[in-house]
């Protein structure tokens, strides 16, 4: 099926260059000069991609990006910006642009951008991805996350995923990758906190043989290995400051220099970063560069803690138990054990739930997990948020009463440790100030 691209630029030479490049790729093109002409063409026929200059006689490329997002949300649009005008490019990405190119246009990058945009998965493929989500849960939190991922996966913009440890940040990154035009290429995860600082530049950018002691052969770095795919930087807050500078340059220039090399190598990666730490606090403390933070945080997703979506515990438990077998038989969970899990605080989130069930499956008898097999009260409760008392569900008139009591105890303990600073307490619990104020009022603790 023949593809058609809409070009919007008031420079005749650039329009001709873009049309010629597309023709060599066997892609049709229609070129116009203004925002109004572009809107008229968009009403006349469907397009597979828009390429627009940032400065136009009757408006801005940003205006056109916003228009396309509103009226043609499935149409990828890329913007052309003056060299070095990073701020406008980032603004375009935040508005929903697929990608950007700096002038003068690099034809290799242009062809790569066009190929990526025209490789976006169709609606049927996206639906199949949603039918088999990596991120399980039917709570409103998880429905919103999956919808957000489906939308942002189409973009090439850098993404930042925040959330506590064990909430599924890497799974979210993988879900973005497999719904993107890069799905057929490599997804390369790397834990920034696990790489020794003296080897970090070599790991990221590669090195030449003999460039340092121990470099016995040429090595391709992560940026080159993941070129055409997605590079996931987990625990990005652990990057040392000197590496942050080099990472920022690699993002802006889309080129890397291997250690010991005199030349740079072009790379094409979608960058997704994540950390359980608060990057804004790190910026304020001077341990993370603000310019890198704003480049990484073009689009952000916050993964909710398991405490914020307790209604998903039963579904997650059922899924994990499908893969846990004892003596070749499927392991079951008693109702009282499930009630105990629903009342547990889960400081380690989904990862802790999986670990608890895996351990319990090896301890249980008759392939049935009971409350005692879970060992929830023997070192598994987060010591930073201890409960004042430990009650079993059988001692409570109803599960709702029990959950309300647990919530009250957690709130009181957190407030005490925060010296009754509600803002600080909300931050520790991973909820908003408005949310903690509502909960305190609901439980009669707002005096």
The 10s digit of each residue's pLDDT in 156-193 is 889 999 999 999 999 999 999 998 889 889 999 999 98
The 10s digit of each residue's pLDDT in 207-255 is 998 888 777 788 889 999 999 999 999 999 999 999 999 999 998 888 9
The contacts of residue 408 (CB under 8 Å, 6+ apart) are 443, 445
What residues are paired with 202 via a beta bridge?
Answer: none
* Pair 179, 33 in one domain: no
- The kind and range of the H/E element at 57 are none
pTM, entire model? 0.74
The string of DSSP letters for 171-222 reads HHHHHHHHTSTTTTS-EEEEEGGGS-GGGHHHHHHEE-TTSSTT--S-EE-H
Last residue of a domain, one of 99, 118, 137: 118
CATH for 92: 3.40.50.2300
The string of DSSP letters for 341-358 reads HHH---TTHHHHHHHHHH
| pLDDT for res 318 | 92
Q: What percent of the chain has pLDDT over 90?
A: 51
Contact criterion met (CB below 8 Å) for 98 and 50: no
CATH for 207: 3.40.50.300
* Pair 145, 172 in one domain: yes
Rounded to the nearest 10 degrees, how much is the dihedral formed by the CA atoms of 182, 187, 190, 191? 100
The string of DSSP letters for 228-267 reads TSEEEEETGGGS-HHHHHHHHHHHHHSEE--BT-SS-EE-
Closest alpha carbon to 68 in 77, 78, 60: 77
| pLDDT for res 289 | 94
* Pair 377, 446 in one domain: no
Minimum mean pLDDT range among 12-21, 66-75, 413-422 = 413-422
388 occurs within a structural domain: no
390 occurs within a structural domain: no
At 106, the pLDDT band (50, 70, 90 cuts) reads: confident
| pLDDT for res 400 | 62
Pick the more confident residue, 309 or 365. Answer: 309
Three-state SS at 271 = strand
* Pair 109, 235 in one domain: no
Question: Rounded to whole angstroms, how far apart are CA atoms 238 and 193?
Answer: 5
* Pair 200, 294 in one domain: yes
The contacts of residue 92 (CB under 8 Å, 6+ apart) are 54, 61, 62, 65, 79, 81, 100
Last residue of a domain, one of 287, 302, 317: 302
Question: Rounded to whole angstroms, how far apart are CA atoms 369 and 359?
Answer: 10
* Helix/strand number for the chain, H first, E second: 20, 20
* Pair 204, 151 in one domain: yes
Last residue of a domain, one of 88, 103, 118: 118
| pLDDT for res 252 | 85
Across all residues in the chain, what is the average pLDDT?
Answer: 85
Three-state SS at 5 = strand
CATH for 402: 1.10.10.60
Burial 214-237 (b: 16+ CB within 10 A, else e): eeeeebebbbbbbbbbbbbbbbbb
* Pair 354, 232 in one domain: no
* Pair 291, 405 in one domain: no
17 occurs within a structural domain: yes
* Pair 161, 106 in one domain: no
How many domains is the chain partitioned into structurally? Answer: 4
The 10s digit of each residue's pLDDT in 1-54 is 689 999 999 999 999 999 999 999 999 999 999 999 999 999 999 999 999 999
| pLDDT for res 394 | 44
| pLDDT for res 389 | 37
61 occurs within a structural domain: yes
389 occurs within a structural domain: no
* Pair 292, 330 in one domain: no
Model confidence at 126: pLDDT above 60: no
Closest alpha carbon to 268 in 69, 89, 114, 432: 114
| Distance (Å) of CA 57 to CA 11, 36, 408 | 11, 10, 60
The pair of structure tokens assigned to 132 is: 């088999």
Question: The domain containing residue 426 runs over which residues?
Answer: 396-447
391 occurs within a structural domain: no
Pick the more confident residue, 300 or 395. Answer: 300
32 occurs within a structural domain: yes
| pLDDT for res 241 | 93
Three-state SS at 413 = helix
Question: Rounded to whole angstroms, how far apart are CA atoms 320 and 328?
Answer: 15
Contact criterion met (CB below 8 Å) for 270 and 227: no
CATH for 317: 1.10.8.60
Model confidence at 390: pLDDT above 80: no
* Pair 83, 53 in one domain: yes
* Pair 152, 293 in one domain: yes
162 occurs within a structural domain: yes
């Amino acid at each position: 099926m023949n593809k058609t691209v809409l070009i919007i630029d008031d420079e005749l030479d650039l329009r001709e260059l873009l049309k010629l490049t597309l023709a060599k790729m066997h892609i049709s093109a229609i070129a116009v000069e203004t925002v109004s002409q572009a809107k008229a063409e968009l009403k006349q026929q469907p397009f597979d991609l828009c390429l627009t200059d940032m400065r136009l006689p009757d408006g801005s490329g940003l205006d056109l990006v916003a228009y396309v997002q509103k009226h043609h949300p499935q149409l990828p649009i890329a913007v052309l910006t003056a060299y070095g005008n990073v701020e406008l490019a980032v603004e375009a990405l935040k508005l929903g642009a697929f990608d950007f190119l700096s002038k003068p246009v690099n034809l290799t990058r242009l062809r790569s951008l066009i190929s990526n945009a025209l490789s976006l998965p169709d609606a049927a493929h996206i639906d199949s991805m949603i039918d088999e989500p990596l991120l399980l849960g039917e709570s409103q939190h998880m429905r919103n996350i999956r919808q957000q991922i489906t939308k942002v996966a189409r973009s090439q913009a850098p993404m930042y995923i925040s959330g506590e440890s064990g909430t599924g940040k890497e799974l979210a990154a993988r879900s973005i990758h497999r719904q993107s035009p890069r799905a057929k290429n490599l997804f390369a995860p790397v834990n920034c906190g696990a790489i020794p600082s003296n080897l970090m530049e070599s790991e990221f950018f590669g090195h030449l043989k003999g460039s340092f002691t121990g470099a016995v052969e040429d090595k391709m770095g992560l940026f080159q290995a993941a070129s055409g795919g997605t590079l996931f930087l987990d625990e990005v807050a652990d990057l040392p400051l000197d590496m942050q500078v080099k990472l920022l340059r690699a993002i802006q220039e889309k080129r890397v220099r291997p250690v010991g090399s005199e030349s740079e190598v072009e790379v094409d990666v979608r960058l997704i970063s994540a950390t359980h730490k608060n990057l804004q606090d790190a910026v304020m403390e001077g341990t993370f560069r603000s310019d890198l933070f704003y480049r990484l945080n073009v689009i952000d997703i916050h993964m909710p803690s398991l405490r914020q979506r307790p209604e998903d515990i039963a579904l997650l438990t059922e899924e994990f138990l499908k893969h846990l077998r004892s003596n070749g038989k499927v392991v079951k969970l008693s109702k009282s054990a499930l009630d105990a899990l629903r009342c547990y605080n889960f400081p380690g989130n989904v990862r802790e739930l999986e670990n608890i069930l895996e351990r319990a499956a090896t301890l249980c008898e008759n392939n049935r997990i009971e409350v005692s097999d879970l060992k929830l009260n023997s070192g598994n409760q987060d010591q930073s948020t201890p409960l004042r008392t430990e009650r079993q569900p059988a001692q409570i008139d109803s599960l709702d009463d029990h959950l309300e009591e647990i919530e009250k105890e957690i709130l009181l303990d957190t407030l005490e440790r925060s010296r009754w600073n509600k803002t600080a307490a909300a931050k520790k619990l991973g909820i908003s100030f408005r949310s903690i104020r509502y909960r305190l009022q609901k439980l009669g603790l707002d005096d």
